[in-house]
Amino acid sequence: MGTALVTGASAGIGRAFAERLAREGTDLVLVARDRARLEELATALRDRHGVAVEVLVADLSDREQTGRVCDRLADDVRPVDLLVNNAGFGFRSSFLDNDLREEEAGLDVMVRAVLLTCHAAGRAMRARGRGGILNVSSVASFIANGTYSAEKSFVTVFSEGLASELAGTGVTVTALCPGFTRTEFHQRARMSISALPQALWLDADVVVAQALRDVAAGKVISVPGGQWKVLTAALRATPRPLLRGGAMRAVDRFRVRG
């Protein structure tokens, strides 16, 4: 079943990708910062599913460490058939109130690392004439709310462009655009989410199952969940001026101050 490299595999959606792919018999390269969590997951997946699992500890906000992930993706002796660019995080404050170091790290993890890894994987896969790239974006890429939206917009549009560039080569590119998904994301970003309607929430397993079906079907944009498909279609049809103010007000409700 080949090999998949998953970034942000230590928690949430990335961990769910690793578990699902291992269950399907795919060998794995797990990337994140937390070595202990990655090693524990790798051992569990090897024992449970008999797949080969490598652990590649890397902070994707660091250029040199991201370079090691790119080297692994470019390695023709141990080809990677599916790249899942999933690592990411939400910001704890709005742009002007936030620490610039966190803002730069966001740009590095959610934009630069996606760009660099797609370059390495895209070239290697194109040369082999097969492969898949799945970039985890967000429904936030369709609205206008601060740097997170801007970075996820990059991921969605960049994926669309790369999908066109690779059309006919045997390599597919998919931007996964989930809505609210139960993971560590909101707690890490200190977001207050108790007021969110239950109907909006997705399970990471559901997101991953839909994403992998869409990759297999060669879809360029994947939006898991019927409720989010409808909302996304509405968002994309909404005039930008309305979207701008509405998005800010909606997201501000979930921000924890102080």
Site string for ligand NAP, 187-226 (x = CB under 6 A): -x--------------------------------------
Using CB under 6 A, which of 33, 46, 68, 128 touches ligand NAP?
33
Q: Using CA atoms, how far apart are residues 161 and 145, in angstroms rounded to an integer?
A: 22
Q: Does 13 bind ligand NAP (CB under 6 A)?
A: yes
Q: Using DSSP, state whether 28 is helix, strand or coil.
A: strand
The encoded tokens of residue 134 equal 């799945």
Our CB check for ligand NAP shows the closer of 193 and 243 to be 193
221-222 β-sheet, strand order: 53-57, 27-32, 3-7, 82-85, 131-136, 171-176, 221-222
Q: Is 94 one of the catalytic residues? A: no
Q: Does 3 bind ligand NAP (CB under 6 A)?
A: no
Q: What angle do CA 150, 230, 210 make, to 5 degrees?
A: 80
Q: Does 253 bind ligand NAP (CB under 6 A)?
A: no
Using CB under 6 A, which of 161, 184, 216, 236 touches ligand NAP?
184
Longest dimension (CA), the chain: 53
Helix or strand run (H / E) with residue 48: helix 35-49
Q: Does 180 bind ligand NAP (CB under 6 A)?
A: yes
Taking residue 171's Cβ as centre, other Cβ atoms within 10 Å add up to 23
Our CB check for ligand NAP shows the closer of 89 and 126 to be 89
Rounded to a whole number of angstroms, the minimum distance from the CB of residue 19 to ligand NAP is 12
The encoded tokens of residue 34 equal 């937390």
Q: Does 146 bind ligand NAP (CB under 6 A)?
A: no
CA nearest neighbour of 72 among 3, 169, 1: 3
Using CB under 6 A, which of 30, 60, 83, 121 touches ligand NAP?
60
Contact positions toward ligand NAP, by CB under 6 A? 8-14, 32-34, 37, 59-61, 86-89, 109, 136, 138, 178, 180-181, 183-185, 188
